[in-house]
Amino acid sequence: MIPVRGYEGARVAVLGLGRSGLSAARAVRAGGAEPVCWDDNPAARAAAAGEGFACADLTGAGAFDGIAALIVSPGIPHLYPAPNPVVLAALEAGVPVDNDIGLFFRSLATPDWDGFVTAPRVVAVTGSNGKSTTSALIHHILQEAGRPAQLAGNIGRGVLDLEPPGEGAAVVLELSSYQTELARALTPDVAVFTNLSPDHLDRHAGLGGYFAAKRRLFAEGGPDRAVIGVDEIEGRFLAGQMAEGPADDRVIRVSSGQKLTGPGWQVFARKGFLAETRKGKQMASIDLRGISGLPGAHNHQNACAAYAACRALGLAPRVIEAALHSYPGLPHRSQVIAEAGGVTYVNDSKATNVDSAAKALGAFPRIRWICGGLEKEGGLDALKGTTGAVAKAYVIGREAAAFAMQLDVEAEVCTTMARAVERAMEEAEPGDTVLLAPAAASFDQYDNFEQRGEDFTAEVEKRLK
């Protein structure tokens, strides 16, 4: 655990008692402050009380008297589409609002660091798609290289549950826009921006607000190195803001699909090969085509971003290359779950928006596509023109018929995962990939995308026995 610093002897309110909220309450208490907790869910309050935390309704009059700060869990809106009443009460009382990410950055460094030969480093990864894979891949490379490393944030553990890092260690954080937007402290050593596509628009009042939340990691964080995907205009704009000039190698530009040139530091992938150039000279080249854990151009972009971050930490190209080949992939993200009769079965349940689904559709030559769910704002128009490899779609979800009507491929309304898997397997031919890439949220039928992916996996495995 990383004890929270700066609030010794004070009362700190904690709103939301899920994984990150309880973790924050424990760390606040460990740092010598008194947590005052609240959650609308009685079961969550009971769990907190079971750990000895005081719970108090933070919506009442005078609830913020004597409170030094309010710590908010990421799922709770603090601005758009409307602030939570507790957050609004804190703002009206002049109480600072923060989250566990802000607490982490303000509390990580200790006087012990003065005795380290090599201080710990923090790598923070944000973006629309590929955050989890890029973060996990950086963590994997560091471990394979013998560097002590921990992974947390929007993936794995809460940031305050980490052990204080020691000599030469690294912490890799996946950070969502919900987390970067509110954190009062953001000071990574290396910051990574993967890409940008429309998502969470209601929470950020549009694409501009969404990008602004991501941009805070760089503009306010002041990283020593910035790894920035430049395949969208927002990334090119961000790289331009961070760099002092074309040769400023504090910015490492990353691309998948285009060759990057110039006197700066670039890492890009074309036709399955990763290339690193610096000061106009090629420094390394890696063949990504045979790496089973990183299929498709979107994963090649993730590989470029992870490679660049690890190079910024001083790792040699050959060390990174060896680690790429041993990367097993993440569950629910282009995860090969079975191969039988010449058919490959891939679970990409994390493809919860149209952009991530489009990238998955470009990774395989002939696809039986299982899609559908709770449609996100913006519709499915962005999928048009990306479905050339789809032999047929099998649509799930409560609104499967309406979803299917928007697709530009042959589609069968299946509604349930069981029926979709059954029909896809019946019609699949050798060389086909049965791909779950929903292009939608899971909440109409499942608690989360993980549960949806597990259902897909179970249905495939049941029929292969």
347 is in an annotated binding site: no
**Is 128 annotated in some ligand binding site?**
yes
Q: Is 127 annotated as a binding residue?
A: yes
Is 334 annotated to bind a ligand? Reply is no
Instruction: State the SS3 of the chain.
Output: CCCCCCCCCCEEEEECCCHHHHHHHHHHHHCCCEEEEECCCHHHHHHHHHCCCEECCCCCCCCCCCEEEEEECCCCCCCCCCCCHHHHHHHHCCCCEECHHHHHHHHCCCHHHHHCCCCCEEEEEECCCCHHHHHHHHHHHHHHCCCCEEEEECCCECHHHCCCCCCCCEEEEECCHHHHHHCCCCCCCEEEECCCCCCCHHHHCCHHHHHHHHHHHHHCCCCCEEEEECCCHHHHHHHHHHCCCCCCCCEEEEEECCCCCCCCEEEEEECCEEEEEECCEEEEEEECCCCCCCCHHHHHHHHHHHHHHHHHCCCCHHHHHHHHHCCCCECCECEEEEEECCEEEEECCCCCCHHHHHHHHCCCCCEEEEECCECCCCCCHHHCCCCCCEEEEEEECCCHHHHHHCCCCCEEEEECHHHHHHHHHHHCCCCCEEEECCCCECCCCCCCHHHHHHHHHHHHHHHHC
Query: Does 285 count as an annotated binding residue?
Result: no
> Is 442 annotated for ligand binding?
no
Query: Is 23 marked as binding a ligand?
Result: no
Annotated binding site: 127-133
Annotated binding site for ATP: 127-133
